[in-house]
Amino acid sequence: MIKVFEAFAGYGSQRMALKNANIPHEIVGISEIEGDVILSYAAIHDNLLDERLKSIDMSDDDMRRSLKNINVPLDYRTFENKADKLRGQKLKDIYLANKLSKNFGDIRQINPDTLPDFDFFTYSFPCQDISIAGFQSGLSQNSGTRSSLLWECCKIIEKKRPKYLMMENVKNLIGKNHRNNFDEFLDYLNSLGYTNHWKVLNARDFGVPQNRERVFCISILNDRHSFEFPDTVELKVFMEDLLEKDVPENFYLKNNQVSDSPIVQDYIYCLDSNYWKGTFLSDFLEKKRRQLVSGKRNEMGKYPARRLTPRETWRFMGVNDSDFEKANQLVSNTSLYKQSGNSIVVPVMESIFVNLFKGEI
């Protein structure tokens, strides 16, 4: 049984991959700060939808105090704590979600001495300050950027010395602006006795019709065993296989937003957390915004074009519909779009984990 701690947990894509790959595991804790994301995690993995219907013998002030103790939920842009703004069922839901998911909250405030032991530490830190589509503020240590939260992992790794580490981030991590920081962190891991293996992998090479290149880094303590990244597989599921058949009108673009020339391809371009902001043709025609799909030509000779639905974006991340439905009951479409764009493609990790843990199963 592999004991796992998920830092920057998101909706738990790592946990999904371990489950799908039939790897015996136990999640002993997570670190996540965004309220809606924590709701999704607990709904998918920890039965929040049933637990929220039960009564709680705790006052609102005590629930808020509990949340503040781990500094959640935070505004992702300002890092302002929003616990005092929570009321009613939302307060109860956020409190329960943190408790059920064993969330240790803001990684900046975690004391490693309070953490249980674990074998596998996942730390796919925020990409916003290094992605080409983001702010390009960097990830230098003590810079105060969201991406610099990477360095908060050091205290945990040093104290707990897990056998295995996994990180995923945007391809620009190894670009000229950020490669020095990446190499510095790898050198740090080497100094602790970790052997690092990293590679750029594309989701479309692992059965998912999305052109999503990401850096994956696997680190193994004391060179316990050899590791090789998995071989690619033939793409057998195409874009049209993941699209919904009946889509509400509000997802379709107006005629003045649509080009007469259809774009034909078997996969979508990379989803990001800002996908939901795309509204006009100029947004969609940018390479990063081609999450635009079209049905058959209608009787007017036009191609009815629309945005992907939240469900479809989760499908393109390898998430099954039953998990999506659980999150969909608690959070908005805007949040669902952001969560999928910020997550990790599940089938890619399934292949990695099969290779990584073959000696542990």
Q: Which are the catalytic amino acids?
A: 127
The whole-angstrom separation of Cα 82 and Cα 90 is 12
- Backbone φ and ψ for 219, nearest 5 degrees, come out as -120, 135
Q: Both tokens of residue 160?
A: 């707990």
Of 357, 359, 312, which is closest to residue 164 (Cα–Cα)? 357
Identify whether the C-beta of residue 268 lies closer than 8 Å to the C-beta of residue 290: yes
The whole-angstrom separation of Cα 130 and Cα 153 is 18
The whole-angstrom separation of Cα 60 and Cα 90 is 11
Q: Both tokens of residue 272?
A: 């990001």
For CA atoms 14, 15, 18, 21, the dihedral sign is negative
> Which DSSP helix (H) or strand (E) runs through 285?
helix 281-285
Q: Both tokens of residue 320?
A: 């099954």
The whole-angstrom separation of Cα 142 and Cα 139 is 8
Identify whether the C-beta of residue 33 lies closer than 8 Å to the C-beta of residue 125: no
